[in-house]
Amino acid sequence: MFQKLQSILVKDSFRTVGAYTITGALTKAISFAALPFFINTLSEGDIGILTIFSNCIVFLTPIISMGVLYTISIDYFKLPKERYAVVFSSGMIIPAVLSLVMIPFLYVFKAPLEKSFNFHYNFFWLVPISLFLNFCFEAFIILLRNENRVRLFTVVSLLKVLVEIGLSVFFVLFIYQNWYGRALAFALSGGAVGALFFYVVIKDRFLVKGIDLNVLKKEIYFGLSGMVLQSAIFFINSSDKFFVMSFFGKEQAGFYSVAATFATIQYIICISLLQYLQPLLFQKFAAAERWDKVKSLYAKYSLGMLVTLVAVLIFTWLVYHYLLKETYRDYLHYFYLLSLSSFVWTISNIFLQFVVFNKNKKFILQLSVCAISIALVINYMASTFGGIVSLAWGQIITQLLVLSIIIYFNKKLNYFA
């Protein structure tokens, strides 16, 4: 009887994990399947502007969330529902207020942003709205996974990507025929999911009238350290696109961003693997197991990332030669360099887990400041005294230096002892 019950539980667990994995893979596949259409339809300049828009969302989302997403993920399992609802509702205040503050902030720096990064005037309202709606989507996904609502998780994930791609194609073909159609579709799809999000959280009584000021204070204090680390990750992985736009123009930014998009496939797979490896690693770290006990996991993970690198190289070569406009083919070498950079980061990411697990704010701050400084200096020097190829090589150098620093802090924490 027990064995039968255990078998059922294992199968149900497998199905649940499979559903989440398949849903995540399917949404990414839909986005990548639509990518050749936008690359071939929009101009290189439009692709460059869209790159700045999307990277603004990536960079600013951790800033407006201030660690709230982490809190609503963890506290769900720690608190009774009534108390969790207060924490959830109080936390929602932070991204809402910071998104509103972003509007005048961006407007104040309107002139330098337009001059340096080709900020369009529509960015100044599109970015803040998209930021808050993107936060709502991520919070919705976390809540659904916490409650193990697989069907609604699948519906929400597919709704977001299908509405976004469908509206984007419609706008680009029949109305705006430029980058604005794609960006507007992103905001509108976020609005559709956001409306469903508020309906569900109000219906399930997660959104209440009571606000706890102590919760707000704790979130702001905790969010500052997490925000610095997330900013460092952005700088070492995405800030180069802003330098391309500023120094070399929106057309070159378009060529560069397409290469970077395909290079990030490795990072997507890396995150998927870490979703399963991280709990296992944290369990071993909690049991005081160090390098000697876990190095086999690192070896298997690194081998998986190496195989992924080869597969992505072959896949992207085929896409460039048979699916994209011929103009992009001359810039395939950008991808080769950026894919090597992305590979190094996947290795850094698994070594970063021990530093994060220890929650040593001093080390996290020092590591983050070093990473940001290295990225800014190398990007500026490469852009000023070299060209885009030099900048792409600079990403590899940046990632190798950051990997060295992460390993150094692992040693400081006696990981290899």
Q: Amino acid identity, residue 147?
A: E
Lowest mean pLDDT among 5-19, 53-67, 211-225, 358-372: 5-19
Mean pLDDT, residues 364-375 taken together? 91
Q: Nearest-CA neighbor of 316 among 299, 338, 347?
A: 338
Closest alpha carbon to 81 in 69, 94, 72: 72
75 or 393, higher pLDDT: 393
Q: What gap in Å lies between CA 341 and CA 392, rounded to an integer?
A: 8
Where residue 12 falls among pLDDT bands split at 50, 70, 90? very low
Q: Annotate 171-216 with DSSP letters as a single string.
A: IIIII--SHHHHHHHHHHHHHHHHHHHHHHHHHTT-S-S---HHHH
pLDDT at 296: 87
Q: How many CB atoms lie within 10 A of CB 133?
A: 24
Highest mean pLDDT among 45-54, 201-210, 374-383: 374-383
In contact, 158 and 26? CB cutoff 8 Å: yes
Residue 379, H or E segment: helix 361-385
Mean pLDDT of the chain: 84
The pLDDT of 376-402, averaged and rounded, is 95
Q: How far apart are CA 63 and CA 182, in angstroms?
A: 24
For position 9, what pLDDT does the model report?
A: 37
Q: Over range 129-141, report the average pLDDT.
A: 92
Cα 192 to Cα 85, 199, 266, 386: the distances in Å are: 23, 11, 30, 45
Predicted confidence (pLDDT) per residue in 167-176, tens digit: 999 999 988 8
Domain borders along the chain are 1-225, 238-417
Residue 327 has pLDDT above 50, yes or no: yes
Position 257, amino acid: S
Contact 337, 395 (CB under 8 A): yes
Per-residue pLDDT, 1: 39
- pLDDT score for 14: 44
- For 413, phi then psi, to 5°, come to -90, 10
For residue range 146-160, list pLDDT tens digits in order: 787 888 988 998 999
Q: Are the C-beta atoms of 179 and 257 separated by less than 8 Å?
A: no
Q: Minimum mean pLDDT among 68-82, 179-193, 225-239: which range?
A: 68-82
- The first and second tokens of residue 62, run together, are 């951790």
Instruction: Name 184's Cβ contacts closer than 8 Å, sequence gap at least 6.
Output: 126, 167, 171, 176
d(CA 276, CA 97): 34
Alpha helices in 42-176 (DSSP H): 44-65, 68-74, 81-108, 110-117, 123-146, 150-170
Q: What is the pLDDT of residues 272-309, one digit of tens each?
A: 677 667 667 777 887 888 788 888 888 988 998 899 89
Q: What is the mean pLDDT of residues 238-260?
A: 88
